[in-house]
Structure 1
Amino acid sequence: MNEDDAAVSVKKRRVAVILLMTMVLLGVFPLDVLLPSFPALAEHFRTSPADIALSISLFAVGISLSQLLIGPLSDRMGRKGLLLAGMAVSIIGATGCLLATDYSWFLLFRMIQAIGCGCFVLTQALVQDLFAGKERDRLRILMVTASGIFISISPLAGTLMQQALDWPGSFVVFIALAGAVFLKACFFLENQRPTNVMHRGIVQSYRVVYRDVGFTGYWLIAAIAFACHFSFIVISPLIFMDQLQLSPYEFSLTLLLYGLAYIIGGIVARILGGRIAPNTLIIVGLGLIFFSGLVMLMLAKFFGLSTLTVLVPMIICTAGTTIARPVATSKAMEIFPDRAGTSAAAGNTLVFIFGGLISALINLSATDLQTTLALSFLLLSASAIILNALITRRHRALTAG
């Protein structure tokens, strides 16, 4: 490769990284940024905050169902066309939300926006298509780190947008970002797809990937790591605002400190990634989550509930999540490289469902959320460590045989 070709290759990778990071941002933007606008939305549409919360739940359901179709279809039709179509539909939905004067119409357009946002499942497939080896692993670490940071700053960003532009602010910013992604993808991406994909039905495609023990096992490990982080995000308003009586602004600043854990975890993961084996890296990450559970239990017992007794162990836990989750995801995605779209959709759906179920179960223990969270970390991380050991043993047995 001559110098000109090398320069073009570096530029393409840089553009790809920017595109993927923007897609990661858009993946969390429609949910978390809107939270501070609940009262304003309820007042505008003359409904209750509970109805606005319902729109968030339906949005998540819409994304989940949409990505189940988009993943396998992208293996047949290519990523570019479906990504552009999804972005166009999400922009139409967000625009409809801006123009809606009735709650029913708002709910309908939120579902349309959610269906379009299902295209963000293609981030994992695009990473599989455009990158290889350690560069692919490093990018997945960067994506997990960025996702956590975006989630951490979303409440503060939502508060600022609410103050500056009222509730339409988040939709206006979403439309601008989505439009930028649409244009960038239109000119940058090529509509390539794996040439060896067998033309199976969608159900059969999912049956093939889910039957593989390694694939399902590694995605379950990724789901467990995600569930520990997601559970905290879901119950954090109950801990910090309801129980500790922090103001929304103080709560936003607290989550900013929590976001530092993603940066620390990302740095550690990048350093260790080039020095130790992937399975060992998974164990290190899960070990940190287990350790965070122990620390949280001890702090709760000796010092009670406070911002620090929750935040310190959560920083340790999130560092573990940032280390373990990207490696487990890469291990899973490598099993079916020619079905990257199906693999990403199957895995992300598993992650989403698992995170939702675990957070819902933890939320049932409203009297002692801190202890329940700590015990969950211990149980989940131990289960994931055992699962990783079983997958490794099975792989060695198959290799030896």
Structure 2
Amino acid sequence: MTTEVRAPRVITLILLAALAVLPLNFIVPSLSALALEFEVDYGVIGLALAGYAGVSACLQLVLGPLSDRFGRRPVILAALAVFLFATLGAALAQDATSFLAFRMVQAVIAPVYAVSLASIRDVHTREEAASKIGYIATAWGIAPLLGPSISGVIDQVFGWRVGFALLAVLAVLVLVLCWSDFRETNYKRSTSVLSQMRAYPELLSSQKFWAYALCMSFSMGGFYAFLAGAPLAAHALYNVSPATLGLLLGTITVGFMLGSFFAGRLSGKLELSRLLLLGRLLAIGGLLGGLLVVWAGADHVLMLFVPCMFVGFANGFTQPSANAGAISVKPQLIGSAAGLASAISVGGAAVISGLVGVIITPENARYSLLLIMLATALAALVAALVAIRAERKAA
């Protein structure tokens, strides 16, 4: 593309990406305390997770077209302001109803990640965008790793409301940073929001877009499968304590961070198709190796988690390349494509997570988790191959 428009600094995008993903599981250690304080069943307060995810998936479809119509900067600044208001409201809530209402409004921050990726593509080539996205995805991996640990300590020492106050402070800092640094990158505005949303069928009719989006979805689905199935498998097979489980769950996120970092370094030096393919082959190889070791008789908790670290590393390679590919299918629909691809990814991964809860039992946990993750990795490989073939046809 051109260098006439300056993209936001990488540190700005990294902090924005971290704030976009942090609130999702920041609340997890406080769920029991919330249910107790508001005197509701745990299942009711659990809507703070499920409802948040559902609202964020829907908003992905809205904020992308809005950023194509009105620009990236106003959409991001408005989302940050609304998130700040909702976070303060949740921190001051006196009952479960008002807390959950403010919590749902908080979800406006999640689609900001996709809009920030669109701003990168506005001013960079596809290969350059993949490199930038790789670095930003590192923060996307660090935030959910550190968030629950920090919020758990805050909840235990000061109470959950102080944790939400900390989120509000972070929102203010990022809002000020974006106000000063996030210049507008989209100068090819659409004529109306409805025209952008009517463009969704155009994207959905593109085989290339579907291939990239499904590659992202199945890759993320492997991660969601791990989060849904690993606690049951670790407890049923090895009676792992909650503290140890928390550390082990971080293995896949550490892998993702490392993969994203290396993807950032290699993008521009290797074709995106090669990075995409390499990521998928790494995931399949790691899972097959883990299954072979287990079938050979190895019986240690690390035999469950080390193969999953390969999946995280592989996803770090895959996601930046697939993201860059998806939002490049229709250059005039970058924001819409970013939102739609994110919605497909989150929605598909959520379905896979639900299936894991149905399939995995204490009796079959030794193999079933790795087999499900292998199935998602194979499906992502097929999608990646379709995307690569479509790119070569279009060349």
Tell me the secondary structure at the aligned position of residue 335 of structure 1.
coil
Say which SS state the counterpart of residue 199 (structure 2) adopts.
helix
Matched ranges for 1:229-308 at <5 A: 229-241=223-235, 244-303=238-297, 306-308=300-302
Q: For residues 365 and 191 of structure 2, what CA distance do their matches in structure 1 show? A: 48
Offset at residue 234 of structure 1 (A): 2.9
Q: Deviations over 1:60-118 (max 9, x none)?
A: 11111222111101101111111111111111111111111111111111112223544
Secondary structure, counterpart of 2:198 in structure 1: helix
- Residue 102 and residue 267 in structure 1: after superposition, are their counterparts in 2 closer, same or farther (change >3 A)? closer
| Matches of 1:319 and 1:326, distance apart in 2 | 12
Kept in 2, the 8 Å contact 1:194–1:339? The answer is no
Unmatched runs of 5 consecutive residues or more in structure 2: none
**Does residue 1:173 correspond to 2:166, yes or no?**
yes
Which residue is equivalent to 2:388? 392
Q: How does 1:344-383 map to 2 (within 5 A)?
A: 344-367=338-361, 368-383=364-379
The worse-fitting range, judged by mean Cα deviation, of 283-292 and 359-368 is: 359-368
- 1:398 CA drift (Å): 4.7
Q: Runs of 5+ in structure 1 lacking a partner?
A: 1-5
Q: Is the 8 A contact 1:296 1:309 kept in 2?
A: yes
Contact 2:326 2:338 survives alignment (8 Å): no
Tell me if the contact between 2:261 and 2:316 (Cα under 8 Å) persists in the aligned partners: no
State the SS of the aligned residue for 1:364.
Answer: helix
1:203 Cα deviation after fit: 3.6
Cα distance, 1:359–1:18 mapped onto 2, change above 3 Å: same
Q: Distance in 2 between matches of 1:134 and 1:226?
A: 22
| Matched-pair contact (CA < 8 Å) for 1:222–1:326 | no
Superposed CA deviations along residues 127-157 of structure 1, whole A, max 9, x for unmatched, are 2124445432212112222222222233322
Identity of aligned residues (%): 24
1:89 aligns with 82
Alignment partners' CA distance in 2, 1:64 and 1:204:
18
CA distance in 1: counterparts of 2:81 and 2:371, whole angstroms:
43
Q: The residue matched to 1:201 in structure 2 has which SS?
A: helix
Instruction: Decide whether the 8 Å contact of 1:42 with 1:49 is kept in 2.
Output: yes
Q: Verify the 8 A CA contact 1:90 1:113 in the aligned structure 2.
A: yes
CA–CA distance in structure 2, aligned partners of residues 86 and 177 of structure 1: 14
Q: Deviations over 1:39-76 (max 9, x none)?
A: 11111111122211122111111111222111101101
The amino acid of 2:156's aligned partner reads Q
Tell me the CA shift for residue 260 of structure 1. 2.9
Displacement of 1:372: 2.3
State the Cα deviation string for residues 235-270 of structure 1 (Å, max 9, x = none): 333333565433332222223444331343234434
When residues 39 and 80 of structure 1 are mapped into structure 2, their CA distance, relative to the original with a 3 A threshold, is same
Name whichever of 367-376 and 217-226 sits farther off: 367-376
- Corresponding letter in the other structure for 1:280: R
Deviations 1:168-211 (A, max 9, x none): 13311211111111111122223442426354534412112221
The worse-fitting range, judged by mean Cα deviation, of 164-173 and 251-260 is: 251-260
Aligned match of 2:135: 142
Aligned 8 A contact 1:90 1:117 in 2: no
CA contact under 8 A between 2:63 and 2:111: conserved in structure 1?
A: yes
TM-score (normalised: structure 2): 0.90
Once residues 294 and 30 of structure 1 are traced to their aligned partners in structure 2, the CA distance between those partners, rounded to angstroms, is 34
The alpha-carbon distance between structure 1 residues 84 and 263, as it changes in their structure 2 partners (threshold 3 A), is: closer
> Aligned AA for 1:153?
L
Counterpart-to-counterpart distance in 1, 2:70 and 2:229: 40
Q: Structure 1: which 4+ aligned runs deviate by more than 4 Å?
A: none
Match of 2:100 among 102, 107, 111: 107
**Quick one: structure 1 residues 184 and 264, their matched pair in 2 at CA, closer, same or farther if it must change by over 3 Å?**
closer
Structure 2 distance, partners of 1:383, 1:84, is: 37
In the superposition, relative to structure 1, how do residues 214 and 110 fare at CA in structure 2: closer, same or farther (>3 Å)?
A: same
In the alignment of these two chains, the number of paired residues is 389
Query: For the structure 1 residues 140 and 369, does the alpha-carbon distance in structure 2 shift closer, same or farther, using more than 3 Å as the test?
Result: farther
Moved more, 49-58 or 108-117: 108-117
- The Cα shift of 1:354 comes to 1.0
State the shift of 1:373 in Å: 2.5
Partner residue in 2 for 1:54: 47
